[in-house]
Amino acid sequence: MERTEPAQAGAQGPAPEAEIDERGWALVDGQVIPLAEASVSVAAHGLNYGTGCFEGIRGYWQEQHQELYVLRLLEHYERFARSAALLRIELPADPEQMARSTCDLLKGQNVRQDVYIRPLALKVSRSIKVGLRPLRPLVAVYTTPLGDYLPLDGLAVQVSSWRRIPDNAIPSRAKTTGSYVNASLALDQAKSDGYDDAILLDQGGHVAEASAANLFIVRSGTLITPPVTADILEGITRQMMLELADQFAIPCLEREVDRTELYMADELFLTGTGVQVAPVTSVDRRPVADGQVGPITRRLQEQFFKAVRGLDPTRLGWLTPIYDQAHTST
């Protein structure tokens, strides 16, 4: 399907498939060390059993302001703390302290480009025993340049034959490392079949989310998204879309979404830290409406990128400036 030009340029940097350059620095158990030295044993419990959790946070460089804006930094660390608590991992600091340490890490490296921040908590005891305690944790934060995770001008997606893991099996509202095997299998199938991404259904056959992103549809001018009880991650970018929709007086519903609604939607898009705001223009090789990016999707996408670059004075509360440069929002 022919792609249209994106409404607004997204993140600038390497593709997510690129190997991470290890010449940078990492914060490991409170100490700043070279990223190349931040490693764990192959016998680490978390490596063998997936007993870890993580976050993904984006920072956007604004050349006009000479400022790096980190998006919803504290909210990400609050979710990180909840995920860690579920796995009985005691973090070395509270979310506010971890946010400040991350700012120091970015400032110390003089990061002046779009960046991705990865907090990671992992059980690293060299133990064969399955369980959650007593096991020693490691908590680390590293950063890397990152561009767009997916194209922003119209995705072709597939409804996957893999089902979303139910919350009663592996908690969907926690970003646990082991649970992303589910996303990887679905995405691998979609890529093998010639699609950009996959949409997973829950165990009841309702739409849950994409491989690593929340999902919205538009029907008759109303923005609709699966509820947080649909085995989805409680996305921070998802919440931002609901806030922007309220600002623009776009009606919103959080409710179950049937598979056939994907084919009958007027618009469809994905949201997440990685994907940002990514329009979907076909599902299972069926065009979404006329196969073009819809007006509500385009408006939300444009406003999102305006906000993350510090150009929306009403949304500066979403941002943590790293260098605190005085600027005027335009």
Assigned token pair, 148: 């767009």
Active-site residue flag, 175: yes
Q: CB-based burial of residue 190 (10 Å sphere; 0-12 exposed, 13-18 middle, 19+ buried)?
A: buried
Q: How far is CA 258 from the centre of its chain?
A: 24
Q: How far is CA 212 from CA 18, 52, 168, 232, in A?
A: 18, 17, 19, 10
Task: Pick the closest to residue 118 from 35, 187, 201, 194 (CA basis).
Answer: 35
Distance CA 80, CA 244 (A): 24
Q: How far is CA 100 from the centre of its chain?
A: 21
Assigned token pair, 306: 């305006």
Q: Exactly one of 107, 175, 191, 306 is catalytic; which is it?
A: 175
Assigned token pair, 34: 């070279």
What is the number of other CB atoms lying within 10 angstroms of the CB of residue 158?
22
Do residues 16 and 272 lie in contact, with contact meaning Cβ atoms separated by under 8 Å? no
DSSP for 113-159, written as a single string? S-EEEEEEEEE-----S-SSSS--EEEEEEEEE---SS-SS-EEEEE
Return the axis-axis angle of helices 236-247 and 295-308, rounded to nearest 10°. 110
Assigned token pair, 120: 């990671």
Q: CB-based burial of residue 13 (10 Å sphere; 0-12 exposed, 13-18 middle, 19+ buried)?
A: middle
Query: What residues are labeled active site?
Result: 175
